Amino acid sequence: QGQLVESGGGLVQAGGSTRLFCVASGRTFSTYNMGWFRQAPGKAREAVVSISWNNDITYYQDSAKGRFTISRDNAKNTVHLQMNSLRPEDTAVYFCAAAGGPLYLWAYWGQGIQVTVSS
């Protein structure tokens, strides 16, 4: 069974930066697409960014374009999310996720980590 564990985040001032880390264990995720989702209080979980297994394709939610950067290191089974120019509306619990199999379903999820952006 695979496991994803997030770290980083915390309290950041508006306009500041932070970095999220996701470490995968229990199996190799080098053939999985990886992504970051977030869920703000009272809102549905939404996809923020994702990256294909071979680093070839990335997806960015419109609000994340130009501010967030996703990267992965398959040799270390890690995924990073660099978040710059943070806004109060970026406040949410951020989840690391992995998608694999023939349908590339998001099958593995981390426990989530809080990012709070103060104005």
Mean pLDDT, rounded, for 98-116? 92
Mean pLDDT, rounded, for 55-84? 94
Q: Express each pLDDT in 30-58 by its tens digit.
A: 999 999 999 999 999 999 999 999 888 88
Residue 115 has a pLDDT of 98
Residue 103 has a pLDDT of 80
DSSP string of the chain? --EEEEEE-EEEETT--EEEEEEEESS--TTSEEEEEEE-TTS--EEEEEE-TTS--EEE-GGGTTTEEEEEETTTTEEEEEE-S--GGG-EEEEEEEEETTTTEEEEE---EEEEEE-
